[in-house]
Amino acid sequence: MIDAAQLAANWTAVRRRVDEACRAAGRDPAEVNVLPVSKTFGPEVVRAALVLGLHRFGENKVQEIREKAAALAGETIDWVVIGHLQTNKAKDVARVASEVQSLDRLELAEALHRRLEAENRTLDVLVQVKTAREETKHGLPGEELPAFLERLRAYPTLRVKGLMTLATQSDDTDEVRACFRHLRELRDGCAGQGHRLPRLSMGMSGDFPLAIAEGATEVRIGTAIFGSRSNPVA
Ligand SMILES: *Cc1c(COP(=O)(O)O)cnc(C)c1O
């Protein structure tokens, strides 16, 4: 397990690099949040991060959130779902998640809405858009976004705050950056139709400066904060 001093050093370094990327892009560092991605790391690692003042964590499996939340009962933690969600997980999501960034289809919106109504709560959501070339990457096709946002108006428990994407994994920075630019342009296009989508969640450990240059308001960082993951994750 990563020790507390290393974790603190990583966190400071990441925040500094984010601030530098903001300044290089002529942006105010206060506009860009870092979402620490704790997937595959155990509750002790999350506890060490809590000591640093972090309290919001990205996870890609609902079962993993449930286990960590149980182990960390008594702590105030916002769990953010960033991974592909099966519709049959909606009930657990409605109970344990503070936010979902991977909303990519109506069937899931419908299921979440029904469960949230039953729990008498609302949920912040980002719509995940597919901007990457890889077939394995999830997300709504960009051209379907305007109609999708219209349909989401039927689910008032879902508070749509913005968009999320994963860029193509490539050494070609132009290609990676084009994914991020595409998300921003889609957002700007939807603004004309009355959809306010202030948040853009894009950029990970390997590509966040490019995302910040294209307008990210949130970067999702795992490896650069917590170290490499032993078990591979999709
Ligand atoms: C794992 C993951 C991240 C973080 O990736 P790193 O490269 O470790 O920073 C970001 N977003 C999503 C959707 C992920 O699944």
- Summarised one tens digit per residue, pLDDT across range 43-73 is 999 999 999 999 999 999 999 999 999 999 9
35 confidence band (pLDDT: 50, 70, 90): very high
With H, G, I as helix, E, B as strand and everything else as coil, classify residue 143.
Answer: helix
Find out whether the beta carbon of 209 lies less than 6 Å from any atom of ligand 1. no
CA of 110 to the centre of ligand 1 (A): 26
CA of 225 to the centre of ligand 1 (A): 11
Tell me how far apart the alpha carbons of residues 1 and 206 are, in angstroms, rounded to a whole number.
22
234 confidence band (pLDDT: 50, 70, 90): very low
Mean pLDDT of 157-179: 97
- Is residue 233 assigned to a domain? no
Find out whether the beta carbon of 38 lies less than 6 Å from any atom of ligand 1. no
Is pLDDT above 80 for 125?
yes
- Is residue 232 assigned to a domain? no
Residue 229 one-letter amino acid: R
Mean pLDDT of 1-23: 96
- Summarised one tens digit per residue, pLDDT across range 100-109 is 999 999 999 9
- Summarised one tens digit per residue, pLDDT across range 141-154 is 999 999 999 999 99
The number of domains in the chain is 1
Per-position b or e across 141-171, b if 16+ CB within 10 A of its CB: ebebbeebbeebeebebbebbbbbbbbeeee
Closest ligand 1 atom to 206 CA: 7
Closest ligand 1 atom to 208 CA: 9
CA of 216 to the centre of ligand 1 (A): 15
DSSP state of 105: -
Q: How far is CA 86 from CA 93, 98, 128, 219, in A?
A: 10, 17, 14, 24
Q: What radius of gyration do the chain's Cα atoms show?
A: 17
Q: What is the mean pLDDT of the chain?
A: 96
- Is residue 231 assigned to a domain? no
- Is residue 10 assigned to a domain? yes
- Is residue 198 assigned to a domain? yes
Find out whether the beta carbon of 222 lies less than 6 Å from any atom of ligand 1. yes
Closest ligand 1 atom to 226 CA: 8
Tell me how far apart the alpha carbons of residues 3 and 111 are, in angstroms, rounded to a whole number.
40
CB atoms within 10 A of CB 180: 24
With H, G, I as helix, E, B as strand and everything else as coil, classify residue 82.
Answer: coil
Find out whether the beta carbon of 227 lies less than 6 Å from any atom of ligand 1. no
The rounded percent of the chain whose pLDDT value lies above 90 is: 94
Tell me how far apart the alpha carbons of residues 125 and 128 are, in angstroms, rounded to a whole number.
9
Closest ligand 1 atom to 204 CA: 9
pLDDT of residue 178: 98
Q: Is the pTM of this model over 0.85?
A: yes
pLDDT of residue 233: 46
Q: How far is CA 158 from CA 121, 122, 168, 180, in A?
A: 9, 6, 28, 24
Is pLDDT above 50 for 20?
yes
Is pLDDT above 90 for 94?
yes
Find out whether the beta carbon of 36 lies less than 6 Å from any atom of ligand 1. no
CATH number at residue 190: 3.20.20.10
- Is residue 23 assigned to a domain? yes
231 confidence band (pLDDT: 50, 70, 90): low
Contact between 133 and 172 (Cβ < 8 Å): no
The range of the structural domain enclosing residue 92 comes to 4-226
Closest ligand 1 atom to 35 CA: 10
The rounded percent of the chain whose pLDDT value lies above 70 is: 98
Is pLDDT above 90 for 29?
yes
pLDDT of residue 135: 84
- Is residue 234 assigned to a domain? no
- Is residue 173 assigned to a domain? yes
pLDDT of residue 230: 76
